Chain A
Amino acid sequence: MTRYVLKRLLLLPVLLFLFSVTVFAIVQAPPGDFLTTYVATLASSGSSISAEQVEALRREYGLDQPVWIQYVRWMENLAKGNLGLSLEYQRPNAELIGERLVLTVVLALFSFVFTWIVAVPAGIYSAMHPRSALDYALTVLNYVGVATPNFMLALVLMWSAFAYFGVSVTGLFSPDFVDAPWSLARVVDLLKHLWLPAVVLGVAGTARLTRVMRANLLDELNKPYVTTARAKGLPEWRLVLRYPARLALNPLVSTIGWYLPALFSGSLIVATVMNLPNIGPLLLRALVNQDMYLAGSILLIYCFLTIVGTLISDILLAWLDPRIRLEEG
Chain B
Amino acid sequence: MAAEAVPAVAVNVAEERVSVASNWRLVWWRFRKHRLALLSALVLIGLYLVVLCPEFFSTQDPEATDARLAFMPVQRVHLFDGARLSPWVPGVVGKRNPMTLRMEWRADASRKIPVGFFTGGHAYRLLGVVPSRLHLVGAASTDGRDQIHLLGTDRLGRDQWSRLVHGTRTSMTIGLVAVAFSVVLGVLLGGISGYFGGLADLVIQRAIELLQSLPTIPIWLALTAALPRDWTPQQVFFAITVILSLVGWTTLGREVRGRFLALREEDFVLAAELAGASRRRIILRHMVPTFLSHIIATSTLAIPVMIINETSLSFLGLGIRPPAISWGVLLQEAQNLQTLALAPWLLMPGLLVIFAVLAFNLVGDGLRDAADPYSQ
Contact = CB atoms under 8 A, between A and B. Distances in A.
A19 B221 contact: no
Contacts of A18: 210
Interface stretch (A77-85, A93-101, A223-231, A282-290): A282-290
A269 interface: yes
A249 to B, nearest CB: 21
B144 to A, nearest CB: 36
Contacts of A197: none
Interface stretch (B24-32, B178-186, B289-297, B337-345): B337-345
Given A26-B222, A273-B335, A303 B350 contact: no
14 contacts: A26-B219, A26-B222, A27-B222, A30-B226, A30-B228, A144-B358, A151-B331, A155-B347, A156-B350, A159-B337, A162-B337, A280-B218, A299-B215, A303-B214
A68 to B, nearest CB: 18
Contacts of B362: 143
What 5 pairs between A and B have smallest CB-CB spacing? A29-B226, A265-B217, A147-B357, A302-B215, A287-B225
Given A147-B304, A258-B212, A310-B213, A155 B218 contact: no
B214 A149 contact: no
B210 A159 contact: no
Contacts, number: 119
B213 A306 contact: yes
A171 interface: no
B193 interface: no
Nearest to A16: B213
A266 interface: yes
Interface string B294-322: 00000000001000100110011110000
A159 B331 CA distance: 13
Interface in B158-214: 210, 212-214
Given A18-B210, A287-B222, A288-B225, A266 B217 contact: yes
Interface in A35-85: none
B216 interface: yes
B225 A303 contact: no
B370 interface: no
Nearest to B337: A162
A163 B344 contact: yes
Given A19-B213, A149-B353, A265-B217, 10 more contacts: A30-B226, A30-B227, A149-B350, A152-B347, A152-B354, A159-B347, A258-B212, A283-B221, A299-B219, A307-B213
Nearest to B338: A162
Given A31-B228, A307-B213, A310-B213, A283 B335 contact: no
Nearest to A169: B337
A268 B358 contact: no
A148 interface: yes
B334 interface: yes
Nearest to B342: A163
Contacts of A22: 214
B361 interface: yes
A26 B215 CA distance: 14
Given A147-B354, A155-B334, A283 B218 contact: yes
